[in-house]
């Protein structure tokens, strides 16, 4: 047997003995085994590691970024909240929430909201619902009620 194509002869111990010196990414007596860089668990935060030749690649879980998935993503940097809403970064990686301006609702403040529409109208006994400029409702009672 001789050293693999990805090695070169090292010290010649005797005429019948030699040592292979492996190129980067290979190991074993004859340098025929590719090193699995994922065995050292280089990817953090539940990322998936893919072994490459003399390298590895991490596929990060949501909320994480970087070569080894060790950096927390600031989800607000991408501007996910709509209609002038304020984005608040959560302490939990991968999460954020939006504080909606008046007249909008939904996770991203993408849904129009009228506090006086038939689904939300808080007024009872035939009172009139009035939409306020801050997005809240007030009720005007009918005369005599």
How confident is the model over 51-92, as pLDDT tens digits?
Answer: 998 899 999 998 899 999 999 999 999 999 999 999 999 988
Instruction: For residue 104, list its beta bridge partners.
Output: 112
- Distance, CA of 97 to CA of 88 (rounded, Å): 5
Domains and CATH numbers, the chain: 7-35 (no CATH), 38-72 (2.10.25.10), 76-113 (2.10.25.10), 114-145 (no CATH)
Residue 51: predicted pLDDT: 95
∠ at Cα 66 (63, 70), nearest 5°? 65
Provide the whole-model pTM: 0.58
The stretches in the chain having pLDDT less than 70 are 1, 4-17, 144-145
Residue 127: predicted pLDDT: 86
Residue 15: predicted pLDDT: 57
- Distance, CA of 103 to CA of 136 (rounded, Å): 8
């Amino acid at each position: 047997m001789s050293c693999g194509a990805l090695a070169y002869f090292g010290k010649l111990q005797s005429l019948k003995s030699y040592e292979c010196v492996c190129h980067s990414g290979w190991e074993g007596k004859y340098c025929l085994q590719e090193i699995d860089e994922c065995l050292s668990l280089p990817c953090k935060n539940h990322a998936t590691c893919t072994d490459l030749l003399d390298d590895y690649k991490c596929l990060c879980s949501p909320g994480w970024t970087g070569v080894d998935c060790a950096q927390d993503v600031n989800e607000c940097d991408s501007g996910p909240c709509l209609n002038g809403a304020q984005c608040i970064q959560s302490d939990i990686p991968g999460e954020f929430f939006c504080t909606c301006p008046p007249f909008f609702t939904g996770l991203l403040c993408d849904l129009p909201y009228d506090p006086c529409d038939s689904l939300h109208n808080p007024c009872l006994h035939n009172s009139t619902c009035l939409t306020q400029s801050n997005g809240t409702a007030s009720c005007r009672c009918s005369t005599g009620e």
